[in-house]
């Protein structure tokens, strides 16, 4: 049987941009609101990446559109505390990306070792 690779499948395995990867990773353990995401991403990246609000909310809009995250209102908070959480599709994408990176890391390390030997 012939397998047809559709555009959707190709898009599914497209590497994520760094801000998107960091946002998904930040939301993997718990929902967060905008400013909490900025702080957590800075801490996750060891202070290397500090997302500006323009970059963060642009990425959040695209992730909402893709259905990888969802927005909800946290109880006892104002509209300013709209929070974001991963959807099942977002979790799957993060897992796929981490697997891809793991495989790449393994291959890279193996080649480095081979060249040193």
Q: Does 61 bind another protein (CB under 8 A)?
A: yes
In the range 27-46, which residues lie near another protein by CB under 8 A? Answer: 33-35, 38
- 64 is a site residue for another protein (CB under 8 A): yes
Residue from 4, 10, 54, 113 binding another protein (CB under 8 A) = 54
Measured between alpha carbons, how far is 96 from 98 in angstroms, rounded to an integer? 6
Tokens standing for residue 22: 């960091």
Query: By CB under 8 A, is residue 72 in contact with another protein?
Result: no
CA 105 to chain centre: 18
What minimum distance in Å lies between the beta carbon of 85 and another protein? Answer: 15
The region of 4-12, 20-28, 60-68, 89-97 touching another protein under the rule CB under 8 A is 60-68
Is 47 a residue that touches another protein (CB under 8 A)? no
Binding of residue 79 to another protein (CB under 8 A): yes
Q: Rounded to whole angstroms, what are the CA distances from 84 to 55, 70, 106, 107, 116?
A: 16, 6, 32, 34, 46
Instruction: List all residues 6 or more positions away from 74 whose beta carbon is below 8 Å from its beta carbon.
Output: 31, 33, 81, 82, 83
């Amino acid at each position: 049987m012939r397998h047809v690779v559709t555009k959707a499948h190709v898009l599914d395995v497209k590497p994520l941009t760094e801000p998107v990867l960091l946002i998904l990773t930040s939301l993997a353990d718990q929902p967060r609101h905008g400013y909490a995401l900025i702080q957590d991403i800075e801490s996750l990246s060891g202070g290397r990446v500090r997302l500006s609000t323009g970059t963060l909310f642009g990425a959040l809009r695209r992730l909402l559109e893709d259905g990888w995250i969802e927005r909800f209102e946290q109880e006892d908070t104002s509209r300013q505390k709209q929070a974001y959480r991963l959807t099942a599709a977002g979790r799957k994408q993060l897992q796929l990306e981490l697997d891809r990176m793991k495989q790449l890391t393994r291959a890279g390390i193996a080649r480095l070792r081979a060249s040193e030997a």
